[in-house]
Structure 1
Amino acid sequence: MAADEKAISSVWTRPRRTRDRPALSREQIVSEAVRLLDSEGVDALSMRQLGARLGAGATSLYRHVANRDELIELVVDEVYGEIRVPEVDGPADLRAAVAVCAASVRSMIVRHPWIASMLGAVGLSYLGPNVMRLNDRMLALFTAAGFTVEDAVPAISTVFAYVIGMGISEAAWLTTLARSGRSEQEWAEQLRPSVDDAAREYPALRESFEVHGAVAPQQARDDLFDYGLARILDGLEARPRT
C-alpha cells in the first residue's frame, strides 16, 4: 500500500465494531476510564488496569478500541461532552454566552486535570461527536452574533486557547495544593514571609503582591480568568469587519 493510502489510525476513522454483542459496551469502558483517570491519574491508565476495574480481561476492551491511544481519544471526547454552550439570539448575547461556555470549559478541566497532558496526544480528537458538536455550537454562536465563518473560526480558536491555557495552569496548581493537604489560604499565609523576602528589592512587584494578596485566593483566580476573557472579547468586538 502506498504511503499516502495508508489508513490514519484513530477510533474515529474505522467502523465501530458491533459483532458478538460483547458483555462490555464502549460507553461502560469510557465511563470507567474517566473514573480511573480522575482518581489515579494518567499513569494508571492501561488496558490491563481498566479491564481489572471492569472485571474483564483486556481482550474484552480490544473489541472496542485497538490500543490505549484510541481509548484516550474516547475519554477526551467524553469529557468535552460536559461543556455547555448556550443559545444566542444576536450580538448582544455573545459576551454572556461565551462567558458561560468559558466557565464550563474551565470547570471541566479542573474536574479532570489529567486532560492537560492528553490534549497534545489525542490523535484526531476533533472528529469525536462531542468535540464536533461543541465546535458546531460555538460556530453558530459567533455567526449569530454577526461574525462571518472566516472570522468566527480564528475567534473561537483564540477563546479556547486562552481558556484551556488558564484552565490547565489552574488545574496544575489545585492538584499541587491537594497533595499538600493545605487550603489555599493556609498555603498563602505560610508562604508570605518567603514572598516578602524574595520581593524585597522590587518595590513595584512587592506592591502588586500586597494588592493581590488582600483578595481571597479563589476570588483572585476568578477575577484573573474573567479579566483575560473580557479583554479577548473586547478585542474581538473591535476587530476590523471583513
Structure 2
Amino acid sequence: MTPDAPGTPPDGPIDDTRTGDATTGNTRTGDAAGGTTDDPVAGSPAWWAARAARAARAGGSHDLGSASATTRRGRGRPALDTDLIVATALRLVDAHGTHAFSLRMLAEALGSGTATLYRHFAAKDEILALVVDRVLGEADPAAARSSSSSSQPSTDTGTPSWQEALRGTGLGLYAVLRAHPHVVGPLMAQVPVGPNGLAQRERVLHALVAGGLEAGLAARAFTAVAHYAIGFVAQQHGPAAAPGNGPELAAFYRRLDPAGHPTLIAAAEALTSVPPEEEFRFGLDLLVRGLEGVAGAAPASTAP
C-alpha cells in the first residue's frame, strides 16, 4: 500500500551524512558498525537484501524484519531486542519528528548507550526504514473497508469486490499515516520493500485481481490510490501542513471583488468547511468510480 516511485519528503530530505556523532545519516565512513560508503542506502532493495543475506550467513531467521538480520557481533552490553528498539523509535518519531530523532535520543529512552545501538544499526536511517515498515504493518484494509458506508457489495462467491478492496486500501493507509504523520517523509524517500510493505502489496494486488481487475490495471489502481493517500496526509496532516483556518479563509474569499471572483465567493463555504476525512473519502470515491469506467472498457481477469 505504498508508492513504487520514491520522492523527496515534504519537510525536506532526511539528513544522510554522518560526521562522527550518533545523530544522523546513512552514508558510513568506517564507523563503529563496520560500514563503508559502499553500503547500500538504508531502506533500499539492496539494503533489505543485504539484511537477509547477513541473517542467512549467521544461521538466523530469514525474516527481513528480525533481530538476527541486523545484530552485529561485538563486545559491550548485551544486544537489545530489535522490536523494542523499533517500537521505541516510532514513539519518539511520533513525538519529535524525524529530524529531531537521533540515536542518542533513542539510547536514552532505552536506558542504553549509543554503542549498543550500533551493534544493530549503522545510522538512524536504518532505524527509520524499519519504523516505516512497522507502520505499514499496522494498516488494516479489512477494518477500514468494513467502516466504509460506500463500499460495493461483495461478489457472488463472497470475495470482496475490487472496489471494496481498493477503498479499504486507501482508507487503511490514510488512517495509519494520519496516526503517524512524521513517517510520511521517510516513507517517500524509498520504495518500501520491507516484509510488511511486500506483504501488503501482495495482499492488495491479490484482492484486486481476485475481485475482477486485470493484473496490470490492478497495479496502476493500487499505485494511484497509494499516491493519493500519502500525498493527502502529507499536505493535510504532515509536519508542514497548513493550520486549520477555514473560517478566516472563507471570510477572505467573501471579501473578494464579486466582479472578478463570483464563483469563488459562492463556493467559499464548501471550499473551507469540509473536514479532511470527509474530503479524503470523497476523493477516494472519485478514483474508484473513475477506475470503474476504465475497468468496464477492458476484459476482466479470471480470479485465481
TM-score range, shorter chain: 0.7 to 0.9
Alignment-derived partner of residue 126 in structure 2: 70
Give, in angstroms, the shift of residue 85 of structure 1.
2.6
Distance 2:286 2:218 in 1: 17
Alignment-derived partner of residue 138 in structure 2: 82
**Structure 1 counterpart SS, 2:189:** coil
Give, in angstroms, the shift of residue 148 of structure 1.
2.5
For residue 230 of structure 2, what is the amino acid of its counterpart?
I
For residue 115 of structure 2, what is the amino acid of its counterpart?
T
Q: CA RMSD in A?
A: 2.7
Question: 2:192 aligned with 1:125, yes or no?
Answer: yes
Give, in angstroms, the shift of residue 119 of structure 1.
2.4
Question: 2:255 aligned with 1:197, yes or no?
Answer: yes
Q: Where do 5+ consecutive residues of structure 2 fail to align?
A: 1-37, 55-68, 146-153, 300-304
For residue 113 of structure 2, what is the amino acid of its counterpart?
G
Question: 2:208 aligned with 1:142, yes or no?
Answer: yes
Distance 1:66 1:173 in 2: 26
**Structure 1 counterpart SS, 2:138:** coil
Alignment-derived partner of residue 181 in structure 2: 113
Give, in angstroms, the shift of residue 31 of structure 1.
0.5
Cα deviations across residues 74-132 of structure 1 (Å, max 9, x unaligned)? 0100111111133975676322332232122111111111122222324x522x11101
Q: Map of 1:131-170 to 2, 5 A cutoff?
A: 131-170=197-236
| Most deviating of 168-177 and 150-159 | 168-177
Give, in angstroms, the shift of residue 57 of structure 1.
0.9
- Does the Cα contact within 8 Å between 2:121 and 2:127 map onto a contact in 1? yes
Alignment-derived partner of residue 277 in structure 2: 222
Distance 2:289 2:99 in 1: 40
Alignment-derived partner of residue 267 in structure 2: 208
Cα deviations across residues 152-181 of structure 1 (Å, max 9, x unaligned)? 21121111111211122121389654xxxx
TM-score, normalization by structure 2: 0.65
Question: 2:298 aligned with 1:233, yes or no?
Answer: no
Distance 1:46 1:206 in 2: 47
Alignment-derived partner of residue 26 in structure 2: none
- Does the Cα contact within 8 Å between 1:90 and 1:146 map onto a contact in 2? no
* Identity in percent: 29
CA spacing shift, 1:162–1:129, aligned 2, 3 Å: same
Q: Which residue among 98, 120, 125 is the counterpart of 2:166?
A: 98
Q: Which residue among 40, 44, 60 is the counterpart of 1:8?
A: 40
Alignment-derived partner of residue 29 in structure 1: 85
Distance 2:237 2:283 in 1: 17
| Most deviating of 99-108 and 35-44 | 99-108
- Does the Cα contact within 8 Å between 1:90 and 1:145 map onto a contact in 2? no
TM-score, normalization by structure 1: 0.80
Distance 2:141 2:129 in 1: 21
CA spacing shift, 1:234–1:9, aligned 2, 3 Å: same
Q: Choose between structure 1 and 2 for higher RCO, CA contacts under 8 A separated by at least 6 residues.
A: 2
Q: Which residue among 179, 184, 188 is the counterpart of 2:246?
A: 188
Report which of the two has the higher share of helix: 1
CA spacing shift, 1:189–1:168, aligned 2, 3 Å: same
CA spacing shift, 1:199–1:121, aligned 2, 3 Å: farther
Distance 2:94 2:126 in 1: 18
Distance 2:268 2:196 in 1: 41
Q: How many aligned positions are there? A: 223
Distance 2:233 2:206 in 1: 24
**Structure 2 counterpart SS, 1:45:** coil
Distance 1:241 1:149 in 2: 11
